[in-house]
Amino acid sequence: MTDGTVLSLQILTHHGERPRAVPDVRALPGHGLEGDIHGKSRSGSGRQVLIVDRTTLDAFGLRPGDLREQITVAFAALETLPTGTLLQAGEVTLELTGPCEPCTHIGGLNGVADPIAFQKALDGRRGQLARVTGVECEGLIRVGDRIAVRTPAPR
């Protein structure tokens, strides 16, 4: 399986606002990314981080962060990886917890003319949810870091 690259990192500090691009972010095992509202006070949630491949953004004419993802990657195999797959992103290990179903309001957040059609078009393409399972060193993910499958996908 090929490796990928972190293209952009975003932190969302308030619901309904546009995420803020950052050059790096610290990951907190069991809680998500430092400073992001999706960081969980209760450890273990499967919705800590959203990872989206840039091909989805390109297909819809979107910019990094428009789908409210924290990590935008160039990693075409992302959508095909099964739940439980471990990814190494910089100093951080992420466990995929499943595909992200498009929410009813994502079209409105992006100002599209038909939010329902946009939501349906995103079905199966809104990326993968993940949880932070481990960190090395400072626990940072940086723009430009390599993304790699850390262990073989579960069978």
The CATH number of the structural domain formed by 4-149 is 2.40.33.20
The β-bridge relationship of strands 4-11 and 49-53 is unpaired
pTM: 0.90
- How does residue 153 score in pLDDT terms, banded at 50, 70 and 90? very low
- Name the DSSP letter for residue 79: G
For the chain, domain boundaries: 4-149
Exposure b/e, 59-87, CB count within 10 A at least 16 = b: eeebebbbbbbbbbbebeebbebeeebbb
Give pLDDT tens digits for 75-84. Answer: 988 989 999 9
